[in-house]
Chains A and B, each alone.
Chain A
Amino acid sequence: MPVIYSRNFATGTQQYLALGPSDYTRTLSIGTNWSRIRIGILAAMSTVSENAWSIRQCSWALGVCNGASSTGSVQAPTHAFGWASSLPSSVSPGNWTYNAGTAGNSYFSGGWNFYRYAAGTATTAATGSITPTLPSNTTLGGAIARRGILILDINKSAMISGNITQGIMCGAVGHMSLDLTTNDLYAALESPTGATIQGTAMLMLALGNSLAFNEVTNGILDTVFVYWSHATVPFQLYEIGIFRVG
């Protein structure tokens, strides 16, 4: 069960949701009345017992789905689109690699897929190149308390059925020794192309990886979710922002 904690940053205290093997879900007030949305999160990753170890075999996913019963943690979602480091149903998920960073400001980097669940069947697409990163939560070795950003961009070709293309934007290595804030998240969400945050360009993978969707057949995409699979290395979710582009 997710638990709420708080943490001190240079800009003040902020509460966060600690996701164990669980989902955060929220049904959108706009329902499925959107053609393009961006889902942005302000987050950090826990370390494995404060060691310089990678986070082994975990799944992190975010996206939109059909109600709260099609999220990352269910066996066979009826309809979901999103981005995942490894599919939540994978029995051999990938690692999040530990990187020492500079001045103790360690961070993790991982793999990715865009994916679709339709009638319980998963399809992935991973054309393009980007290395997603998020800061660790450690303050050892002189590290400052930091938060990072990842934004998923989901674009429908038509309102009810057609194709969905997706893109992502995340912090560059240069951001890993910086603490990104809620204002930075909002600025990045509203940036029409790759944003420059605190003087450094965000990494960006433009819309692509087309996958067909049909909200009549498989259910409307009206709910945002974030899923994380590790209990002892919880995911720290500080902020989530949804921007309806169109």
Chain B
Amino acid sequence: MPVIGQQTFVLAPTSDKYLSLTNEEFVRKLDLTGFGNNWSRIRIAMNCSLANTGGGSIGPRFVLFVGLCSGTAFPFQSQQCVNAVGYVWGDPSGAQSGTGWTANAGNPYYTSAGLGYYGIRKVGQGTQTATIGSATWAFMATGGTLERRGWLCADIGQTSTTGTQRGNTFNSAVASSDVWYEHSVYAANQGGVPMILESLAPNNTQTQTFGGGWNTNPLDTVNIFWGCPNYDLRIYALTVCFTP
């Protein structure tokens, strides 16, 4: 069961609560009253970090899905998943997938070495994925000379027949810095590929054709799944931005 923890930082909020996920998922239905399905893109941004392994990869169950699903009953990880679309880091098929590790002079972070990444749609147990291009991801690790919060987001675009999924994380060039709350929201609010602490976010975009009627079950619920049972994902803040 997800639990709430608390961590101390130098920058505001200095005593920050977080939601801890270990092989479980978070769902929150959006209030789309008066808005409905009339959006072209939704960005789901997380101020987050991953537990410190003490010097090695997080694996083999590194699966991080950030996206939208339809309703709260059958989200991404459900075998009866109604309709979930987003970006996934790691291997959603359950195959072995892990990260790299960079000590970064006492301010560690995980890297994308050996890590798969996909734009993904899931209905039932069936998935449709796409992976073209490359990006050098960075995921913040807890602990270090300075306690830091990282940042990542998934952009989900929709047309009547296609879906676009883009993943973004912070750039390793700023891995020694704490992405504090205000800048997390600022980055989420940037329309395109964001600048995180003035450093361009690594990103990767996939566009998939799903066919007419694919979003009849509307994507109305924020859905985050973290697959690793041993090291928790800490979510300090979640920001959802719409592009009309």
Contact = CB atoms under 8 A, between A and B. Distances in A.
Do A and B pair up? The answer is: yes
Nearest to B182: A232
A21 B189 contact: yes
A220 interface: no
Interface residues of A, number: 24
Contact of A75 (B155, B182, B194, B244): B244
Contact of A53 (B40, B185, B198, B241): B198
A229 interface: yes
Interface in A56-103: 56-59, 73-76, 86, 88-93
A74 B183 CA distance: 26
B11 to A, nearest CB: 10
A231 interface: yes
A233 interface: yes
Given A75-B39, A91-B40, A232-B182, A57 B190 contact: yes
A217 B195 CA distance: 41
B75 interface: no
Chain B interface size band reads 20 to 34
B17 interface: no
A117 B29 CA distance: 31
Given A91-B191, A91-B243, A93-B192, A75 B38 contact: yes
B48 to A, nearest CB: 18
A232 B40 contact: no
B190 A58 contact: yes
Contact of A90 (B185, B186, B191, B195): B191
Contacts of B190: 56-58, 230
Contact of A92 (B182, B191, B198): B191
A56 B195 contact: yes
Contacts of B189: 21, 58, 229-233
Interface string A20-62: 0100000000000000000000000000110001001111000
Given A49-B186, A89-B243, 20 more contacts: A21-B241, A48-B186, A49-B183, A57-B190, A57-B191, A59-B191, A74-B244, A75-B39, A90-B243, A91-B40, A91-B41, A91-B155, A91-B192, A91-B243, A92-B193, A93-B191, A230-B189, A232-B182, A232-B185, A232-B186
Interface of B: 38-41, 155, 157, 182-183, 185-186, 189-195, 198, 241, 243-244
